[in-house]
Structure 1
Amino acid sequence: SALKDQSSEKTIGYPSVGELTYSIFPEGNLFIHLNSLTQRGIEYGDLVEIAELIDDKTLYNLSKSKNHIIKI
């Protein structure tokens, strides 16, 4: 998920993974693992994209379902 004031187009000349994902799966949902944000010192308000924060158990269940996750 992109951070505010971050632009891959300007820095490397290519769209971000998030932008590419939305172009391929426009109806998809974006989930963000809460512990991953915390470990990186990022707050939800720092993100550009709207996403659903999920905990360890939810991440595990989504990963098992095979219908709800793309690992990038």
Structure 2
Amino acid sequence: MTKIHNGMPAQHLPGLSWRKSRYSGSVGNCVEVAPLIDGGIAVRNSRYPDGPALVYSRDEMAAFLSGAKDGEFDDLIV
């Protein structure tokens, strides 16, 4: 079994069910996420599906999503 780690090629994570937000654009500007068997969450850029995947724990992703919902990152979208 392959050890899952940050930055590994997404193609080395076979069998994942990648999904993206319904708000994603039609020009490939999408972030995709997939649950991992160990409970983590993988994230990749849809334009580079075989490129690197970032791997986060459920707690890390929950903290990020809570911050996004609370508007903590709104200043990044100008």
Q: Above 0.5 in TM-score? A: no
Q: Provide the TM-score with structure 1 as the length reference.
A: 0.28
Name the structure where strand makes up a greater proportion of residues.
2
Q: Which has the higher helix share?
A: 1
Give the alignment's TM-score, normalised by structure 2: 0.27
